[in-house]
Amino acid sequence: MRNDSNLNNIIVFEKVGKIYEPQGDVALKNVSFSVSKGEFACIIGPSGCGKSTILKIISGLDKESSGDIIIPKNISMVFQNGALFPWLTAYENVALGARVKQQDKYEIDFICQKYIKMMKLSEFADKYPRELSGGQRQRVGIARALAVDPDVLLLDEPFSALDAKITEELHQDILSMWQQTQKTIVMVSHSIEEAAALADKIILMKTGLIQKEFKINLSRPRHEQAPSFQELVNQIRREFFK
């Protein structure tokens, strides 16, 4: 692997390829990128271009076929549907995350209270997943992932099943959580606007390759009506449909 000069990088992919055996499906061809500590990176691209494969490799759920990677040990993933345990309350789901690192019940309670409050779940802590809305379930999934105190938080299209208003509220709360915790976030999204609203860096993929990386310097909060925001979205859209 090249001697990466940026010591701040927490994730590095260097010429990574992924072939799914035994069919031989090529998911990634020659993918190189890095994510630095505390960065909010977003991977976008059409269906089947390899976004989830990258998340699976970062999370350790899958292994690259070629190339080199650097990934930290402690990673949490938030899935599209929250993937909560239905027989546990919101609080108990978050406590599962906290128990990954903590044994002391007072410490576990402290961690749960902190992230339940951060994700605005205080009044829903005793509810079961079936009693929660889709947005609330995602909030529990995020709180549970944070309770592990991960080096990197992976978000796999966390808002894809939610309506526009709930998504907008969650965007604000994810940004606030990110600013408070200073976590490194890698998120997969199918929305250019969402990526532009949230990320420091957008990695645009096309059929197993990175087509272009966009470094975003717009200050936050970003206003979707602002000409600079519109210009950025148009620039990404032009590349997306190339």
CB under 6 A: which stretch of 21-29, 73-81, 167-175, 232-240 binds ligand ADP?
21-29
Our CB check for ligand ADP shows the closer of 54 and 90 to be: 54
Nearer to ligand ADP, 25 or 107 (CB): 25
Structure tokens at 167: 């998504």
Residue 123 per-residue DSSP state: G
Cα–Cα dist 115/143, whole Å? 5
Closer Cβ to ligand ADP, 115 or 214, answer by number? 214
Give CA–CA dist 44/206, Å, rounded: 9
Report the nearest approach of ligand ADP to the CB of residue 211 (Å): 13
Question: How near is the Cβ of 56 to ligand ADP at its closest, in Å?
Answer: 7
Q: How far is the CB of 72 from ligand ADP (least distance, A)?
A: 21
Spatial separation of the C-alpha atoms in residues 15 and 10, rounded to whole Å: 17
| Residues from 22 through 81 that contact ligand ADP (CB under 6 A) | 23, 25, 27, 45, 47-53
Interface of this chain with ligand ADP, residues 203 to 242, rule: CB under 6 A: none
Tell me how far, at minimum, the Cβ of 225 lies from ligand ADP, in Å. Answer: 29
CB 152 within 8 A of CB 34: no
**Of 45 and 141, which has the nearer Cβ to ligand ADP?**
45
Count CB neighbours of 150 within 10 A.
22
Nearest approach, Cβ of 27 to ligand ADP (angstroms)?
3
Nearer to ligand ADP, 113 or 160 (CB): 160
Asked if residue 110 lies in contact with residue 165, where contact means CB atoms within 8 angstroms, the answer is no
- Cβ contacts of 167 within 8 Å, gap of 6 or more: 159, 194
Write the burial class of residue 242 (CB in 10 Å: 0-12 exposed, 13-18 middle, 19+ buried): exposed
The CA distance from 100 to 124, in Å, is 23
152-191 residues near ligand ADP, rule: CB under 6 A: none
Letter for the amino acid at 71?
I
Minimum CB–partner distance for residue 207 and ligand ADP (Å):
8
Strand partners, 43: 188, 203
Decide whether 60 or 126 has the Cβ nearer to ligand ADP. Answer: 60
Interface positions with ligand ADP (CB under 6 A) = 20, 23, 25, 27, 45, 47-53
